Amino acid sequence: MNSDQKWIVNAFLESLIGMQFRRPEPPHKIDLRLQLAEMVLTELPGNDLEELANRAHAEALRDVYLTTDPQRHERYEQELRAYIKVLKSVEAD
């Protein structure tokens, strides 16, 4: 990833600090997270495992806010665990 892409991913991850599922959140926080998720999806082409993991994480977050599927929170939590595993494996290489 180049420095701009890293900045976008870091901003996206920082926006998730304090995120509370199943509790009302201020609309401005939701909007910021969705905008940053879109930036991740737009700017990271998915050329390597780390980029694919970041894209999947952003898509899962979008699903949390934009779908009404009752399993969306559980799917996000599963995706987050997978995301962490991928990052750990990338760091180990």
Assess whether pLDDT exceeds 90 at residue 40: yes
Separation between Cα atoms, residue 83 and residue 79, nearest integer Å? 6
pLDDT of residue 1: 85
Alpha carbons within 13 A on the beta-carbon side of 82: 15
Query: Which residue is associated with the tokens 């926080």?
Result: 29
Q: What is the pLDDT of residue 90?
A: 83
Q: State the Cα–Cα distance between residues 72 and 80, nearest whole angstrom.
A: 12
The mean pLDDT of 35-54, rounded to a whole number, is 95
Whole-model pTM: value is 0.90
> How many domains does the structure of the chain reveal?
1
Q: Considering the chain, what is the average pLDDT of its residues?
A: 93
CB under 8 A, 24+ apart: contacts of 9-12 = 9/40, 9/44, 9/54, 11/36, 11/39, 12/36, 12/37, 12/39, 12/40, 12/54, 12/58
Q: What is the pLDDT of residue 38?
A: 97
For position 44, what pLDDT does the model report? 96
Q: Which whole number is the average pLDDT over 46-54?
A: 92
Query: Residue 16 belongs to what domain range?
Result: 3-92
